[in-house]
């Protein structure tokens, strides 16, 4: 239990670090676009090698497919709610935070399940979560700050997301006793589906708008780093 709590906190702390970095100083739009592009590439690698592939391996195609559909629909509906209450006035800030929450909870639950099942943490998954969290938080906090949100409120909001993600790691650890392989595969699919919709609707368009064609190069770099970490483990 203590191990799950510790590693969950390590993975989630990048959310708070990124939020602070996005609040304490203004960042040039091109830099934010590069960060978002890098994070998008890292997330694509995480979806490919840590979520979808692992889900297919342990649970089979059907649970992952169902999880993908449910995760994608969950983000779509939640993002629609953000739009209805005026969240788009903050550009991609709120959708990025929402994406971090919707993918972070199942993703870190998978981390906790892995710790409980094998007794060791997946370093590649841990680093992939950390690397992908950081640019999401920086980009979101920068957008929200630029649109008039108070820095303390932004940091507090991201701290809340981080606490929920840590709690999900502990819950996943406890859940290992009753979670069968198909359910674990569905959880992987849910995280992947939420991430894919967030990437296409919010993160990638924002990165391209801010960094132009250079966002694609940043995404390739992010993918290479995260994929290398995943495949080397």
Q: What is the pLDDT of residues 131-140, one digit of tens each?
A: 778 877 887 8
Structure-token match 């007794």, residue found: 119
Q: For residues 47 and 196, is the Cβ–Cβ distance under 8 A?
A: yes
Give dist(CA 145, CA 50) in Å, integer: 32
Residue 108: per-residue pLDDT: 82
Q: Quick one: angle between helices 61-84 and 181-198, nearest 10?
A: 40
Could you tell me the pTM of the whole model? 0.79
> What per-residue confidence (pLDDT) applies to 90?
46
Could you tell me which of 221, 7, 35 has the C-alpha nearest to residue 108? 7
Q: pLDDT tier at 214 (50, 70, 90 boundaries)?
A: very high
Q: In the prediction, which pLDDT does 27 show? A: 80
Ordered alpha helix ranges (H), the chain = 2-24, 29-46, 53-59, 61-84, 93-118, 123-146, 151-175, 181-198, 204-211, 214-232
The pLDDT confidence band at residue 211, using thresholds 50, 70 and 90, is very high
pLDDT at 127 over 80: no
Q: What is the mean pLDDT of residues 55-70?
A: 93
């Amino acid at each position: 239990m203590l191990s799950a709590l510790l590693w969950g906190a390590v993975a989630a702390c990048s959310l708070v670090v990124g939020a602070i970095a996005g609040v304490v100083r203004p960042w040039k739009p091109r830099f934010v676009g590069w960060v978002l592009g890098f994070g998008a590439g890292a997330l694509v690698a995480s979806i490919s090698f840590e979520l979808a592939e692992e889900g297919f391996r342990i649970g089979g195609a059907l649970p992952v497919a169902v999880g993908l559909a449910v995760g994608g629909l969950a983000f779509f509906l939640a993002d629609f709610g953000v739009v209805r209450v005026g969240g788009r006035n903050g550009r991609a800030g709120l959708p990025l935070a929402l994406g971090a929450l919707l993918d972070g909870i199942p993703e870190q639950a998978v981390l906790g399940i892995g710790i409980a099942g094998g007794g060791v943490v997946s370093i590649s998954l841990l680093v992939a979560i950390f690397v992908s969290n950081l640019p999401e938080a920086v980009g979101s906090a920068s957008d929200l700050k630029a649109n008039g949100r108070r820095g303390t409120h932004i940091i507090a909001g991201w701290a809340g997301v981080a606490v929920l993600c840590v709690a999900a790691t502990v819950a996943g650890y406890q859940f290992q006793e009753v979670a069968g392989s198909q359910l674990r595969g569905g959880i992987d699919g849910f995280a992947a589906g939420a991430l894919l919709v967030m990437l296409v609707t919010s993160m990638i368009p924002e990165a391209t708008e801010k960094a132009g064609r250079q966002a694609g190069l940043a995404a390739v770099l992010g993918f290479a780093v995260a994929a290398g970490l995943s495949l080397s483990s």
